[in-house]
Amino acid sequence: MTFSIDQFRLDGKVAIVTGAGGRGNSIGRAYALGLAAAGAAVIVADINKDGAVSVANEIIQSGGQAAGVQTDITDPASVEAMVAAAEKQFGGVDILVNNAALMVEIVATPAIQHTTEQWNRAFAVNVTGALHCSQAVVPLMARRGGGKIINQVSGGAYPPSTVYGITKIALVGLTTTLARELGSQKINVNAIAPGNTMSDAGALLTPDSSPFVKALEASIAMRMRGQPDELVGPLLLLCSPAGDWITGQVLHVDGGWIIRP
């Protein structure tokens, strides 16, 4: 088959992006807008209903198709309702982006200080939530002949040095496991590991004066920071027909942080 740039198009596809309606300049919002720009109808899912509706309205005002759905990914019934909304409004699901996560809430607390409740909550959102969403969409994807699942992991998982990082390396394990289990159904499962991204949350955690930023400056191969929009191209590769032969992989988008000495 001869390559065509149209292989990156998503016309006729239906995507769900979790955690897409939260903080203003967020990775989830960038993902939702990017998928819509490539032609997909997008379910903007977030526990913050107003935020989800706001991002969906941005897409609609730009000529795209979208709906905002309040979703708690730790609640299987809420996840099933999210998927049912996608099927009712747009006919099914082809793409799932498991982006929702706790980060700001947990990254600063040393693991040794986490209570059992805090630890379980971190895993419930960052790992089990992704499993709930994947379980809910797989039957719909299989009926449509396949699909794409993309999990949002993190450069902070290589190696993990916080509970946040621990949850993200666990999500890498879920990615490779599901890739093997679902390949026969033509469902690709991959992950994106962003580096230091200047979303609103990222800017809050790593101001210019932070020791982390100073260390990053000394070790990064290229540019130490990126913007949420710079993750959209990698996402489109993994979501589109251009990425049909990619599964079980982690795509590091981090300016070379992963190869630091």
3-state secondary structure 20-87: CCCCCCCHHHHHHHHHHHCCCEEEEEECCHHHHHHHHHHHHHCCCCEEEEECCCCCHHHHHHHHHHHH
pLDDT for the residue 217: 81
For residue 257 the two structure tokens come to 């942080």
Quick one: tokens of 15? 């995507």
Phi, psi angles (nearest 5°) of residue 65 = -115, 130
Which two structure tokens, joined as six digits, stand for 248? 């079980």
- Is residue 251 pLDDT above 90, yes or no? yes
pLDDT computed for residue 243 by the predictor? 98
Q: Is the pLDDT of residue 202 over 80?
A: no
- CB-CB contact of 21 with 28 (8 Å): yes
Which one of the listed residues 164, 175, 189, 252 is annotated catalytic?
A: 164
Q: What is the pLDDT of residue 229?
A: 96
Confidence class for position 24, pLDDT limits 50, 70, 90: confident
Query: Does residue 159 have a cis peptide bond before it, meaning omega lies within 30 degrees of 0?
Result: yes
> pLDDT value at position 208?
78
The pLDDT of residue 227 is 94
CA dist., res. 98 & res. 9, Å (int): 20
pLDDT at 224: 85
For the residues 120-142, what does the mean pLDDT come to?
Answer: 98
Q: Write out the two tokens for 250.
A: 């982690």
Q: What is the pLDDT of residues 153-166, one digit of tens each?
A: 999 999 999 999 99
The structure tokens listed for 169 are: 């390396």
33-to-164, 202, 229 alpha-carbon distances in Å: 26, 19, 9
Residue 209 has pLDDT above 90, yes or no: no
Residue given tokens 């969409």 in the structure block: 137
In a 13 Å sphere around the CA of 174, the CA atoms on its Cβ side amount to 24
Query: What are the distances in angstroms from CA 216 to CA 110, 156, 190, 227, 259?
Result: 20, 12, 26, 16, 12
pLDDT of residue 215: 80
Asked if 180 and 187 count as a contact pair (C-beta separation under 8 A), the reply is: no
Per-residue pLDDT, 205? 76
Sign of CA dihedral 100, 239, 56, 79: negative
164 is catalytic: yes
Q: How confident is the model over 136-145, as a mean pLDDT?
A: 98
Is 5 exposed, middle or buried (CB count within 10 Å of its CB: 0-12, 13-18, 19+)?
Answer: exposed
